[in-house]
A = this chain, B = another copy of it.
Amino acid sequence: MEVNIKEQIRTVFTRYLEANKCRKTTERYTILDAICDMEGRFTLEELSEKLTADNFIVSRATLYNTLRLLLSMRLVVKFVLPHGTWYEVGYKNENHCYQVCTVCGNIDELRTTALAAIVDNVRPKRFRKDGFIIYIYGVCSSCQSKMKRKARQKELKKGT
C-alpha cells in the first residue's frame, strides 16, 4: 500500500481514538500498519504470523480487540464464509462477488462490474448501508469431475 494512503488511514484512526477517548497504544498502531501491508484478504492467523515475522508479538486478545475497533469504524471488513473468516482493509469501500464451491470450499472472486453496479444502487430504507457481498454457491468443475468419477466407481462395484 502506498505510504501516503497509510498515513491517511493512521490519521483517520487517530481521530477516531481521540473522539472516543481510547488510548493510542503501540499495539494498535503496529497492528494497523501490519493490516495495511497485508495483500488482499487475510485471516487472523496470517496477520499474527506477519506481526511475528516483524518481531512484534501481540496476544490473541489484543489482536481481536484491535480488529473489533477497526471493524466498528469500518477501516476493516470481515467476511464470514462456510470455510473460515477473513478480513480485508475496507478503506476503498470495495464490494465483492464470490463464487464459492460448497464441496471443496474454494473461493474465487468474480469481476462482474455490471452486477456490482446494480447492487450498489439498492438503497434500503432506514438503514445505513456500508457495503455488500454476493456469494454464488455451487460446485466447481474440479469437484464435478471428482463426483462423476466416484459415481462411476460405485457403479462398477455394484456390478461385482
Interfacial residues, chain A to chain B (CB-CB below 8 A): 20-21, 71-72, 77-78, 80-82, 99, 101-103, 110, 112, 114-115, 118-119, 122, 124, 126-141, 144, 154, 158
A71, A103, A128, A139 pick with most chain B CB within 10 angstroms = A128
State whether A81 touches B80 (Cβ < 8 A): yes
CB pair B118 A139 closer than 8 Å: no
In the bound complex, residues from chain B placing their C-beta under 8 Å from that of A133 are 134-135, 137
Given A21-B154, A71-B102, A115-B118, check contact A126 B140 (CB 8 Å). Answer: yes
In contact, B110 and A122 (Cβ under 8 angstroms): yes
In the bound complex, residues from chain B placing their C-beta under 8 Å from that of A82 are 78, 80
A-B contact pairs, 26 of them (CB 8 A): A21-B154, A72-B102, A80-B80, A99-B124, A101-B127, A102-B130, A110-B122, A110-B124, A112-B122, A114-B118, A118-B118, A119-B134, A119-B136, A124-B136, A124-B138, A126-B140, A126-B141, A127-B138, A127-B139, A128-B138, A128-B139, A130-B137, A131-B138, A132-B134, A132-B135, A133-B135
